[in-house]
Amino acid sequence: MVNTYTNFSLLKYNTFGMDVQAARFVEYESVEELKHILSSFAPEDLFLQIGGGSNLLFTDNFPGTVLHSCIKGREVVEEDEESVYLRVGAGEVWDDLVAYCVENGWGGVENLSLIPGEVGASAVQNIGAYGVEAKDLITKVETIEIATCNERSFSVEECAYAYRKSIFKEEWKGQYIVTYVTYRLSKKPIFHLDYGNMKAELEKRGGEVTLSTIRNVVIAIRQAKLPDPTIQGNAGSFFMNPVIDRSLYEGLLEEYPDMPHYDVDESHVKIPAAWMIDQCGWKGHSLGRAGVHDKQALVLVNRGGATGSEIIMLSQAVRQSVKDKFGIDIHPEVNFI
């Protein structure tokens, strides 16, 4: 069924907790319904597809139509000795999918536990955490091309995935709407435990390492560091971790011998933006009603009643500090609307 609302509050559809309105808000449950909605749009009509709204910052009311997918369903479409191929509706809640896979003993997604948002966004944003990215699991992304209402499937190669990036965010931004994503899950899971304090946390708990203990540890780590958006508005990491030339990193090491990094390739490293923001002294500080989270400096929070502009002002001040101190430009992961 298609549900259409006018002058609709987006408060529950953005984790930053911005109390803005959409002129029109439309929810659909099937590919056919989505095609029907799109075919009624004129080329000049303004619209925006959202998922769980966990990576958006609204700076004002949205004067056009906000579309939200309620395409549900998880279906095993192929199976062999090693793997299960699960086709999932774009409107499924991401963490429900993770819980479902863990319950079934299917490995691959457990490190991505408790990431807010929906399945469609996992394929656009290439969500990632604790050494795993959605691209490691995705085999196929089904979409509707907005201009033609035609269905089009993309292989994982065609999606041109990179860190927090896909072709749907870059070259073909705003041209396709994701309807289904197929993931390859493993019946003989290989655990990825090398990131940060995961191994240490698992050892502390003792016992056998299973998909479910990994999920529990990831949830505990995230809950300890990241603010709960239902209590304090936020969109997870506000900035991406910058990838810089190794030579620049080596130069900085002389001044900052403790500077953490992740190797990207021979000539590039990724620097945790959180560490740099922390070094700039921003952690726990605020500008007006916008703040830098006191347990994870990469997260900007709405301390209550902040506007999108206040969050942007804080983000600009943080970026400038990082630029002044380290000569590195950091870029938001969050999309400004």
Shortest spacing between CB 139 and ligand EPU, in angstroms = 23
Which residue, among 50, 12, 49, 56, has the nearest Cα to 235 in the 3D structure? 56
Name the token pair of 246.
Answer: 């190794």
Report the distance separating Cα 284 and Cα 232, nearest Å: 13
Contact status: 126 vs ligand EPU (CB under 6 A)? no
Helix (H) or strand (E) holding 236: strand 233-237
Choices 33-41, 199-207, 290-298, 313-321 (CB under 6 A): range interacting with ligand EPU: 290-298
Shortest spacing between CB 243 and ligand EPU, in angstroms = 11
Contact status: 237 vs ligand EPU (CB under 6 A)? yes
Out of 164, 246, 289, 303, pick the active-site residue: 164
> Known catalytic residue: 164?
yes
Name the token pair of 75.
Answer: 């279906």
> Known catalytic residue: 309?
no
Shortest spacing between CB 239 and ligand EPU, in angstroms = 6
- Which member of 241, 302, 307, 315 binds ligand EPU (CB under 6 A)? 241
**Closer residue to ligand EPU, CB minimum distance, 105 or 131:** 131
Contact status: 213 vs ligand EPU (CB under 6 A)? no
Contacts of 283 (CB under 8 A, 6+ apart): 277, 292, 293, 294, 297
**Closer residue to ligand EPU, CB minimum distance, 139 or 279:** 279
Instruction: DSSP for 189-209, please give it.
Output: PPP---STTHHHHHHHH-S--
Contact status: 278 vs ligand EPU (CB under 6 A)? yes
> Known catalytic residue: 186?
no
Choices 80-88, 171-179, 233-241, 317-325 (CB under 6 A): range interacting with ligand EPU: 233-241
Report the distance separating Cα 248 and Cα 239, nearest Å: 20
CA dihedral 84, 213, 116, 242 (to 10 degrees): -90
Using CA of residue 5, residue 9, residue 12, residue 13, what is the dihedral sign? Answer: positive
Report the distance separating Cα 268 and Cα 148, nearest Å: 40
- Which member of 69, 143, 166, 296 binds ligand EPU (CB under 6 A)? 296
Shortest spacing between CB 279 and ligand EPU, in angstroms = 7
Shortest spacing between CB 335 and ligand EPU, in angstroms = 13
Report the distance separating Cα 163 and Cα 144, nearest Å: 24
Residues that bind ligand EPU (CB under 6 A): 129-130, 195-196, 225, 236-237, 240-241, 260, 272, 274-275, 278, 283, 296-298, 333
Annotated active-site positions, please? 164, 237, 333
